[in-house]
């Protein structure tokens, strides 16, 4: 079971790694004379290849702002993109943005909108750039699964390593598929094509920093995240990376001070507000301060304005950690289980279903737990064709959660043992996947107590 308890680490990777590998796919420069290069550079590199040729300045301006919000996880860019398309239904830029937003967010409920944008780009023919057609093709592959979509976006990046949206989507797909090394190496391979004068560079640095952190290269990850913050003060993805580094290194007091210092940037109006509150609560738990962890839950996690699956997962993950510590959460589990009960879990990723199981198991909702368990395929190996680690670990982890909640700690341990080698690839970050090792450790302790009592 040692693999379950040990965080994988990788060797340090220099910032320039992989630049030479991509030299056969150089970024295509704007076709302007040398004397005009400085004046044209901003317009050329600000608008992605699939957005160039946009004839309406209002559509271009609004799309660039929506792109910026997407990269910063700020506001509700998907809704703004829909509004842009209401006003400019022929905007190829906006259609490409909508495709990227849907795939990046794994928004299966928006398949009709995805199909509409694919059709709009296809019907546009030569009026849409070749690059836009490649985005449409990659988004089409997503309908067949994340792995195929990743191949499509990887091909786009090979052709144009400065396509920040293709990078962001591929980064999200690598994350969901548990491709930890590629979280680092995909960005490392193209970072040499970027510099601080280019819009989106802070986002690229933050993506690279997160990939480094997820592979155990904490010092370099933190340095790059601070560079991103220097370029874009208050940039929530960079704040997130630094919080991860501090949590993984056990720097709880420093982490609490850091999040407090930057709270104005992350506490509201962005996609990290609930998740960074979760990190704040984890810092309190590292200090054995369960009371303040619960206070954070009540104040910043329990009642999100929009109860997304990600927000519910953060809530479950925190309450489960408290349960492992024998902390009484009162009625909080019941209220959370009610919310999970109303969530649409049929098409949800296994990662989210595992977190729903925590709430159902903790509240003794056996019928809901059984329905959820039955929805998960009985696959426990990612060597099976078409199965990725998140799918393989979900059912055994759910069985372990149910067993733990029922006091059957031996069964809990047996279930976790079955996926011990891949449990750290649960579909979330290393910090999120740590829930398996924490549950295993506590079940082991309680089993030992039971054996001693017998």
pLDDT at 65: 95
From CA 425, how far away is CA 396, in angstroms rounded?
A: 13
Q: Which of 185-219 are b and which e, b meaning 16 or more Cβ less than 10 Å from the residue's Cβ?
A: bbbbbbbbbbeeebbbbbbbbbbbbbbbbbbbbbe
Q: What tokens were used for 334?
A: 């019941």
Question: DSSP letter string over 155-210?
Answer: HHHHH-TT-HHHHHHHHHHHHHHT-HHHHHHHHHTTGGG--TTSTTHHHHHHHHHH
From CA 402, how far away is CA 281, in angstroms rounded?
A: 24
From CA 442, how far away is CA 269, in angstroms rounded?
A: 36
Q: What tokens were used for 286?
A: 């590292």
* 202-206, 280-284, 340-344, 381-385: the lowest-pLDDT one: 381-385
- Give residue 42's pLDDT band: very low, low, confident or very high (50, 70, 90): very low
Model confidence pLDDT, tens digit, residues 86-103: 999 999 999 999 999 999
Closest among 425, 6, 350, 422 to 183, alpha carbons compared? 425
Model confidence pLDDT, tens digit, residues 222-276: 999 999 999 999 999 999 999 999 999 999 999 999 999 999 999 987 889 999 9
From CA 119, how far away is CA 95, in angstroms rounded?
A: 10
Determine the longest span between alpha carbons in the chain, in angstroms.
85
pTM for the model stands at 0.86
pLDDT at 8: 38
From CA 264, how far away is CA 261, in angstroms rounded?
A: 8
Q: What tokens were used for 178?
A: 């548990």
259 Cβ contact partners less than 8 Å away, ≥ 6 residues apart: 239, 243, 266, 276, 279, 280, 283
How far CA 405 is from CA of 241, 401, 454, in Å, comes to: 32, 6, 21
Please say if the pLDDT value at position 341 is more than 80. yes
* 45-49, 279-283, 296-300: the lowest-pLDDT one: 45-49
Closest among 367, 355, 450, 430 to 397, alpha carbons compared? 355
Asked if 313 and 351 touch (Cβ cutoff 8 Å), the reply is yes
- The per-type count for the chain, helices as H runs and strands as E runs, is 24, 0
pLDDT at 156: 96
How far CA 269 is from CA of 134, 226, 237, 273, 394, in Å, comes to: 32, 21, 13, 7, 31
From CA 237, how far away is CA 361, in angstroms rounded?
A: 32
Chain centre distance of CA 39: 37
- The stretch 315-334 carries a mean pLDDT of 97
Asked if 359 and 340 touch (Cβ cutoff 8 Å), the reply is yes
From CA 270, how far away is CA 166, in angstroms rounded?
A: 21
**Phi/psi of residue 231, nearest 5 degrees:** -75, -35
pLDDT at 43: 35
* Average pLDDT taken over every residue of the chain: 87
pLDDT at 50: 58
Long-range contacts of 192-195 (CB under 8 A, 24+ apart): 192/16, 192/18, 192/19, 192/22, 193/19, 193/22, 193/26, 193/27, 193/161, 193/162, 194/162
**SS3 assignment, position 142:** helix
**SS3 assignment, position 331:** coil
**SS3 assignment, position 372:** helix
Return the ∠ at Cα 213 (arms to 19 and 241), rounded to 5°.
105
Listed in order, strand segments (DSSP E) in 309-385 are none
pLDDT above 70 covers a percentage of the chain that reads 85
């Amino acid at each position: 079971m040692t693999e379950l308890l040990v965080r994988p680490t990788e060797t340090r990777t220099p910032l320039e790694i992989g630049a030479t590998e991509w030299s056969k796919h150089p970024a295509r420069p704007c076709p302007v004379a040398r004397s005009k290069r400085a004046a044209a550079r901003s317009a050329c590199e600000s608008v992605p290849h699939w957005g160039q040729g946009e004839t309406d300045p209002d559509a271009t301006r609004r799309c660039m702002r929506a792109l910026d919000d997407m990269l910063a996880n700020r506001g509700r860019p998907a809704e703004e993109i829909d509004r842009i398309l209401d006003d400019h239904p022929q905007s190829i830029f906006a259609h490409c943005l909508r495709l990227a937003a849907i795939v990046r967010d794994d928004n299966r409920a928006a398949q009709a909108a995805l199909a509409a944008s694919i059709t709009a780009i296809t019907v546009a023919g030569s009026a849409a750039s070749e690059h836009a057609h490649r985005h449409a093709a990659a988004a089409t592959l997503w309908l067949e699964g994340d792995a195929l979509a990743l191949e499509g976006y990887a091909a786009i990046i090979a052709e144009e390593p400065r396509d920040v949206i293709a990078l962001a989507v591929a980064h999200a797909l690598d994350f969901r598929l548990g491709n930890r090394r590629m979280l680092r190496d995909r960005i490392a391979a193209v970072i040499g094509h970027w510099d601080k004068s280019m819009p989106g560079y802070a986002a690229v640095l933050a993506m690279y920093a997160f990939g480094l952190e997820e592979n155990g290269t904490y010092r370099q990850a933190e340095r790059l995240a601070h560079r991103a913050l220097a370029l874009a003060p208050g940039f929530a993805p960079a704040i997130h990376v630094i919080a991860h580094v501090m949590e993984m290194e056990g720097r709880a007091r420093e982490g609490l001070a850091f999040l407090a210092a930057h709270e104005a940037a992350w506490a509201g109006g962005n996609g990290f507000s609930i998740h960074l509150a979760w990190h704040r609560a984890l810092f309190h738990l590292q200090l054995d301060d369960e009371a303040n962890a619960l206070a954070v839950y009540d104040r910043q996690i329990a009642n999100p304005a929009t109860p997304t699956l990600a927000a519910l997962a953060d809530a479950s993950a925190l309450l489960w950690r408290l349960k492992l510590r024998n902390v009484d959460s009162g009625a909080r589990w019941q209220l959370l289980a009610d919310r999970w009960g109303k969530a649409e879990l049929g098409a949800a990723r296994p990662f989210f279903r595992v977190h729903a199981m925590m709430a159902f198991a903790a509240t003794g909702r056996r019928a809901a737990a059984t329905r959820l368990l039955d929805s998960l395929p009985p696959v426990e190996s990612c060597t099976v064709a078409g199965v990725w680690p998140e799918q393989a670990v979900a059912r055994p982890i759910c069985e372990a959660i149910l067993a733990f909640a029922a006091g059957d700690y031996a069964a809990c341990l047996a279930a976790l043992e079955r996926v011990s080698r891949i449990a750290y690839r649960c579909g979330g970050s290393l910090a999120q996947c740590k829930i398996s090792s924490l549950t295993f450790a506590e079940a082991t302790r309680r089993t030992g107590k039971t054996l001693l009592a017998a």
